[in-house]
């Protein structure tokens, strides 16, 4: 007789493989994922390998569209018109900030500490704060070595996307022996069973993980759109009751995935972008982390896988308080997205018109010469390997021109989309070398 538990686990894995794609922002990615594709054909291996260089997901328009992106672009530091960082950076930063369109969002409450306890050799706090753009209070988890007294360097740990907006901060933390079974599966699949925020905290850091825009405590609730009966806003009799039930989580993530294009279009109409809103919320979290008395605010880093890697690109590129950054599983070129991979990525990625001025890796390159590591997987289904390597070459060129080659490292690993133990160890060593001097 079939074990009911095994059947339930297989069902969850099947669901994750169909929805994790929301990627890249994805990230929780399920070794492949996107925000809006849920049918099995999406996982056809020929589709995922991206080894048809003369073909395009937009047909015969692909080569033309790819040709619209100049190389180097007008505001690329690789462009011969720019001779030094001091001339280039202010101009490039100003244009990037203009197009990202970060909206004005304020913290509208004090930070509240709800719970403090010790677990896994760490002192842990569960905190929250309210933001002015609506939604539930932002919940966050802070971890640091047990008994630490002196200010420590800090890491803003950015959770992934993974086609799973029900969860946020819980994807990369562990605060008790018993975890939600879907979190257990997620950490097993993408982090080699590790809660990486815990692991780096043990190295001597204050680590904060917060739910960002439309994830976890910040997610859109059914009751907030109830009564809208058209298209992907229709909740189809779904309910916010009993939200931790795995079936209800699956249903929510399906709905939230289908709703991504609605949300992004509405933000465009408001004069902002999804990356801009996430950037605003992540910067407020950085404010809160920086203000803590137990944090050495001169030595703060950030990192994340997939959607967290994407958030690292924008936050690390546009906020110089991030003294060291590690983007994991999110680096390629605009050509890759145009020709092959836009369908594997969340709407969290796209800033209209920005490709006219900066190549995708050059968003993160705005932080040059601050220390930066990019980790990529050679069999990552979300990107094309040749374009990942091209992006790595662009960042190397930027840092070389800035006479800072020692401050950039791009590393490639075997396997699919992940942030496994080996990658975590390399990333943590990189942070140690720059934040603990």
Closest listed residue to residue 129, CA positions, set 287, 273, 267 = 287
**What is the pTM assigned to this prediction?**
0.90
pLDDT score recorded for residue 51:
52
Chain centroid, CA 347 distance in Å: 12
Helices 246-258 & 4-19 angle (0-180, nearest 10):
10
Contacts of 147 (CB under 8 A, 6+ apart): 123
Closest listed residue to residue 360, CA positions, set 99, 76, 40, 7 = 76
Is it true that the peptide bond before 419 is cis, omega within 30 degrees of 0?
A: no
Task: State the Cα–Cα distance between residues 230 and 87, nearest whole angstrom.
Answer: 50
Task: State the Cα–Cα distance between residues 151 and 134, nearest whole angstrom.
Answer: 33
Q: Which helix or strand (DSSP H or E) is residue 300 part of?
A: strand 295-305
Angle at 263 between CA 250 and CA 230, to 5 degrees: 75
- Correct CATH for 112-328+360-374+420-435 of 3.40.50.1820, 3.20.20.70, 3.20.20.80, 1.10.150.120: 3.40.50.1820
Angle at 426 between CA 370 and CA 31, to 5 degrees: 105
Closest listed residue to residue 359, CA positions, set 11, 36, 71, 23 = 71
User: Is 191 within 8 Å of 175 (Cβ atoms)?
Assistant: no
Both tokens of 248, joined, read 């209800």
pLDDT score recorded for residue 53:
66
10-residue mean pLDDT profile of the chain (437 residues): values are 44 41 38 34 37 81 94 96 96 98 97 98 98 97 96 98 97 98 98 98 98 98 86 82 96 94 96 98 98 98 98 98 98 96 94 97 98 98 97 98 98 98 98 95
Task: State the Cα–Cα distance between residues 96 and 186, nearest whole angstrom.
Answer: 33
User: Is 186 within 8 Å of 171 (Cβ atoms)?
Assistant: yes
| Strands across the sheet containing 152-157 | 112-119, 122-129, 138-145, 206-210, 152-157, 295-305, 322-328, 372-377, 408-413
Contacts of 138 (CB under 8 A, 6+ apart): 128, 129, 130, 131, 210, 211, 212, 217, 218, 281, 284, 285
Cα separations in angstroms, 192 against 2, 176, 185, 418, 432 = 27, 18, 10, 8, 22
User: Is 122 within 8 Å of 201 (Cβ atoms)?
Assistant: yes
First to last CA, the chain: 59
Phi, then psi, of 231 in degrees rounded to 5: 55, -140
pLDDT score recorded for residue 236:
81
Q: What is the DSSP string of 119-142?
A: ETTEEEEEEEE-BTT-SSPEEEEE
Task: State the Cα–Cα distance between residues 238 and 234, nearest whole angstrom.
Answer: 9
Task: State the Cα–Cα distance between residues 181 and 244, nearest whole angstrom.
Answer: 10
Contacts of 324 (CB under 8 A, 6+ apart): 299, 301, 370, 371, 372, 430, 431, 434, 435
Q: Which helix or strand (DSSP H or E) is residue 155 part of?
A: strand 152-157
């Amino acid at each position: 007789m079939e074990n009911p538990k095994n059947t339930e686990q297989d069902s969850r894995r099947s669901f994750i493989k169909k929805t994790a794609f929301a990627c890249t922002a994805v990230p929780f990615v399920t070794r492949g994922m996107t925000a809006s594709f849920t049918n099995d054909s999406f996982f056809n291996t020929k589709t995922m390998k991206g080894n048809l260089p003369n073909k395009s997901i937009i047909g015969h328009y692909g080569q033309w569209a790819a040709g619209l992106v100049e190389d180097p672009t007008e505001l690329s530091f690789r462009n011969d018109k720019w001779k030094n960082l001091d001339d280039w950076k202010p101009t490039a930063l100003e244009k990037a900030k203009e197009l990202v369109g970060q909206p004005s969002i304020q913290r509208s409450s004090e930070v509240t500490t709800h719970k403090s306890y010790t677990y896994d050799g760490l002192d842990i706090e569960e905190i929250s704060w309210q933001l002015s753009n609506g939604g539930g209070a932002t919940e966050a988890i802070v971890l640091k070595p047990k008994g630490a007294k002196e200010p420590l360097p800090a890491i803003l740990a950015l959770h992934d996307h993974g086609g799973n907006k029900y969860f946020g901060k819980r994807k990369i933390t562990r605060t008790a022996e018993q975890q939600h079974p879907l979190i257990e599966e997620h950490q097993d699949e993408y982090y080699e069973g590790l809660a990486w925020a815990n692991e780096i905290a043990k190295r001597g850091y204050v680590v904060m993980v917060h739910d960002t825009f439309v994830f976890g405590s910040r997610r859109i609730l059914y009751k907030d759109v109830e009564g809208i009966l058209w298209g992907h806003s229709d909740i189809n009799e779904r309910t916010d009751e009993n939200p931790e039930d795995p079936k209800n989580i699956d249903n929510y993530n399906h709905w939230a995935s289908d709703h991504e294009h609605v949300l992004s279009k509405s933000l465009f109409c408001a004069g902002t972008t999804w990356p801009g809103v996430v950037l605003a919320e992540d910067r407020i979290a950085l404010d809160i982390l920086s203000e803590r008395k137990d944090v050495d605010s001169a030595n703060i880093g950030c990192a994340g896988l997939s959607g967290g890697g994407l958030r690292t690109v924008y936050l690390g590129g546009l906020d110089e308080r991030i003294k060291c950054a590690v983007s994991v599983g999110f680096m390629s070129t605009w050509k890759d997205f145009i020709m092959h991979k836009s369908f594997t990525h969340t709407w969290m990625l796209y800033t209209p018109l920005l490709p006219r001025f900066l190549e995708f890796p050059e968003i993160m390159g705005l932080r040059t010469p601050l220390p930066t590591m990019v980790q990529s997987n050679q069999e990552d289904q979300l990107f094309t390997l040749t374009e990942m390597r091209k992006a790595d070459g662009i960042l190397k060129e930027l840092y070389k021109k800035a006479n800072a080659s020692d401050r950039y490292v791009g590393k490639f690993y075997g396997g699919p989309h992940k942030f496994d133990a080996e990658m975590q160890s390399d990333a943590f060593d990189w942070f140690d070398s720059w934040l603990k001097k």
